[in-house]
């Protein structure tokens, strides 16, 4: 990973990303209960029933964490705001919550870091989950109110905004597979959540446009699917995971391979919502980690079966497949976004890191970043308008249902003492971004 800034286009930005519930410490500052607290409290849902109550204590240590961002020479910090911190019951403002994000954004600006805001990264207030959460169409209006409350306070200083991180995770992973809060396995709930998450995205974009907010985008997690047989299973997986969300936002259509299963369960007159869902954006963010090999399965729709793959794996058990990032960047521009700027808004790997004598030698993570940054260069050479790259994540943090065991950070966190130790991968970014420092 021996890049120079000049190996990337002029004005290409480098950043690192985090999210509120994963690092802040939700027990502090008057934040309300979230559906992740409920999910984690149910035995068996989360490794060791771990939750985000303290996490990395970023709530109190954010200055130190942003010093690390600046020390590495990053241009931008992608962070999120917790709905339940700002509105503990989902609707009423907690002044301490807004004050926290005000201080946080000031601290970014003071250090010369562009604040890249994600409004929602998964901590739905429990009070709204009780009203049906993402299954309830009213979520779009509640989310617009939250959006306005945040932007009225910090919108003057944020550089870019996206409403919702990874709509596939908010809907399919959480309502069909049951692996994330609220832990449902229900096709009807899934269809509604998938549609409503896009409706909420578009409603928030319109609310922000009305406030004069600039530089608005959407962030999609994409996972490549390789055919494991000669059926259309890989295309079905691709349609559910990737093309449903990109298609709704950029083409105002859902793929027929998804409608085959979800069509009967979508809300009435769903087609009428496409003008809101497809409200034009200023950029598109792609979160990319891995691929899967998919074949025809024998279970109910979507009849999918994952096939073992020979590729090297990360600590998550995910294939290392940088070609997928290159192909997604090129394909997204070609099929969905045209000349719109693309950003890799998350990319990174979990690794079983060991801290020894103050050093974390995470060579496999360095190799992962190296290969994926080369994939970005190849996509740019092929004409994809990629303008930035954010590593996931600045800190080791709460990896949702996998608790604190999976380490994605550039900076090691000791979850007993909360000591931060920059890893070798952090040093690599620093030598690229601040040569000779
Ligand atoms: O930790 C998550 C993050 O919250 C969303 N994108 C994927 C990361 C790794 O699983």
Going by alpha carbons, the residue nearest to atom 9 of ligand 1 is 399
Q: Which of 241, 399, 403, 406 to mutate to test the pocket of ligand 1 (most atoms within 8 A of CB)?
A: 399
Amino acid 237: pLDDT: 98
Q: How many domains does the chain have?
A: 1
Per-residue pLDDT of 59-85, as tens digits, reads 999 999 999 999 999 999 999 999 999
DSSP state of 335: I
Provide the percentage of residues in the chain whose pLDDT is more than 70. Answer: 100
pLDDT for 437 = 86
Helix axes 139-154, 187-211, angle to 10 degrees: 30
Residue 402 has pLDDT above 90, yes or no: yes
346 as an active site residue: the answer is yes
Considering the candidates 24, 50, 166, 223, report the single residue annotated as catalytic: 166
Which residue in 50, 223, 346, 399 is the catalytic one?
346
Task: For residue 312, give the CATH number of its domain.
Answer: 3.20.20.80
Whether 166 is catalytic is: yes
Contact 237, 225 (CB under 8 A): yes
Distance (Å, whole) CA 53 – CA 59: 11
Sequence-ordered list of residues with C-beta below 8 angstroms from that of 259, at least 6 positions apart, any chain: 266
Q: Is 90 exceeded by the pLDDT of residue 218?
A: yes
Mean pLDDT of the chain: 98
pLDDT at 260: 97
Residues with CB under 6 A from ligand 1: 19, 22, 166, 221, 287, 346, 392, 399, 408
Q: Which domain holds residue 370?
A: 5-433
Q: How far is the CA of 437 from the centre of ligand 1 (A)?
A: 31
For residue 268, the CA-to-ligand 1 centroid distance in Å is 32
Residues 6+ apart with CB under 8 A from 204: 119, 143, 144, 147, 163, 164
Q: What is the pLDDT of residue 333?
A: 98
Cα 398 to ligand 1 centroid, rounded to whole Å: 9
> Cα(315) to centroid of ligand 1, in Å?
13
Distance 78 CA to ligand 1 centre (A): 13
392, 395, 401, 409: residue to mutate for ligand 1 pocket, most atoms within 8 A of CB: 392
Place of tokens 């729709």: 301
pLDDT at 360: 98
Q: Which two tokens stand for residue 423?
A: 């890893």
Q: What mean pLDDT comes out for the span 182-201? A: 98
pLDDT in tens, 269-321: 999 999 999 999 999 999 999 999 999 999 999 999 999 999 999 999 999 99
């Amino acid at each position: 990973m021996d890049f120079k800034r000049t190996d990337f286009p002029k004005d290409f930005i480098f950043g690192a990303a985090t999210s509120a519930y994963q690092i802040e410490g939700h027990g502090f500052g008057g934040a309300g209960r979230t559906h992740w607290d409920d999910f984690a409290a149910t035995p068996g849902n989360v490794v060791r029933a771990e939750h985000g109550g303290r996490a990395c204590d970023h709530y109190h240590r954010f200055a130190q964490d942003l010093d690390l961002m600046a020390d590495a020479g990053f241009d931008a910090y992608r962070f999120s705001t917790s709905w339940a911190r700002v509105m503990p019951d989902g609707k009423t403002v907690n002044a301490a919550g807004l004050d926290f994000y005000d201080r946080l954004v000031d601290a970014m600006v003071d250090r010369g870091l562009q604040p890249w805001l994600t409004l929602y990264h998964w901590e739905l207030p429990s009070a709204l989950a009780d009203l049906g959460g993402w299954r309830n169409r009213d979520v779009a209006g509640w989310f617009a109110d939250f959006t306005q409350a945040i932007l009225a306070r910090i919108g003057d200083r944020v550089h870019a905004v996206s409403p919702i991180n990874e709509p596939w995770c908010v809907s399919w992973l959480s309502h069909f597979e049951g692996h994330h809060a609220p832990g449902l396995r229900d096709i009807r709930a899934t269809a509604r959540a998938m549609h409503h998450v896009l409706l909420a995205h578009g409603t928030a974009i319109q609310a922000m446009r009305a406030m004069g907010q600039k530089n608005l985008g959407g962030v999609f997690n994409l996972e490549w699917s390789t055919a494991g047989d000669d059926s259309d299973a890989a295309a079905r997986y691709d349609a559910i995971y990737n093309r449903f969300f990109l298609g709704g936002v950029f083409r105002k259509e859902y793929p027929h391979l998804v409608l085959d299963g979800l069509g009967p369960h979508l809300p009435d007159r769903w087609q009428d919502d496409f003008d809101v869902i497809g409200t034009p954006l200023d950029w598109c963010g792609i979160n990319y980690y891995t691929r899967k090999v998919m074949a025809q399965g024998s279970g109910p729709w979507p009849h999918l079966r994952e096939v073992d793959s020979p590729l090297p794996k990360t600590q998550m058990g995910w294939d290392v497949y940088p070609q997928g990032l290159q192909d997604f960047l090129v394909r997204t521009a070609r099929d969905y976004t045209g000349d719109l700027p693309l950003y890799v808004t998350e990319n990174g790997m979990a690794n079983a890191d060991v801290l020894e004598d103050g050093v974390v030698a995470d060579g496999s993570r360095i190799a992962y970043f190296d290969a994926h940054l080369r994939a970005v260069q190849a996509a740019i050479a092929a004409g994809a308008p990629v303008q930035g790259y954010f590593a996931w994540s600045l800190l080791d943090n709460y990896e949702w249902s996998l608790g604190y065991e999976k380490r994605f950070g550039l900076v090691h966190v000791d979850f007993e003492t909360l000591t931060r130790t920059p890893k070798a991968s952090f040093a690599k970014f620093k030598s690229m971004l601040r040569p000779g420092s």
